[in-house]
Amino acid sequence: AGLDPAEFAAPARAVPEDRGLQQIADMVERLQDPYIKALLKGILEDEAWMADFRRAPAAKSVHHARAGGLLEHTLSVMKLAHRLADHYPMADRDLMVAGAFLHDVCKVRELSFERGVEYTDQGRLVGHLVMAAQIIHERSLRIEGFPPALEHHLTHIVLSHHGSMEFGSPRVPQTIEAMLVHYIDEIDSR
C-alpha cells in the first residue's frame, strides 16, 4: 500500500519495438550474400521465434536485462558491425552483420522471462552459443546449396563471440569478422 508500481518498472525501451524490428529487417535486406540473407530472413519470418525475440531480455542481469533488451542489444550490435565494416573493408560485412544478428539469438531459449529472468534447463545445460550453432546448422540445411564453409564461418563467429574459453566460448576468434563481432558485443554489453 502506498507504493507506485511504476517505480518498479523496467526502464523504457531505447528503441520502440516496431522501429527496432524494421531496422533489423532493413539491414538484413541490404545483405549481398543470398545464403546469409535467406538464413536470417528465415528466422525473422518465424512468427513464434520473433514473438519471443521481441520480449526477451539480452541477459539475466549484466546487460539489457529487461523485456525487449535482446532486440535492443541485437540492433545495436548489428549497427556497430555495419559501421565497423566501413572502417575495415577487409572484413566481410555480410558475415559481420549476420554474426551480430545470430550471436545471441538463442537467448530466447536460454532464458525464461515470464516471471523475472531465470535460466531454462536447456540454457543451463547447453547454453545460447551451442543452441545458436544448432540453429545455424538446422536452418542452413533448409536452404538449397548453402555452402558448408559459410555455415562453419557463421558458426565460428557465434561460438567465439565471448572471446575466450574462460568466458564460455569453446573457440577463440580466429577470423577478423569473429574478432570484430566479439569486440562489438563486448562494447555493447558493457
pTM of the model: 0.83
pLDDT 10s digits, 127-142: 778 989 999 999 999 9
In the structure, what pLDDT confidence band is assigned to residue 61 with cuts at 50, 70 and 90? Answer: low
Q: Are 122 and 132 in contact (CB under 8 A)?
A: no
Alpha carbons within 13 A on the beta-carbon side of 21: 15
Distance CA(53)–CA(37), nearest Å, equals 18
Distance CA(148)–CA(24), nearest Å, equals 25
pLDDT 10s digits, 74-128: 999 999 999 999 999 999 999 999 999 998 888 878 667 766 666 767 767 877 7
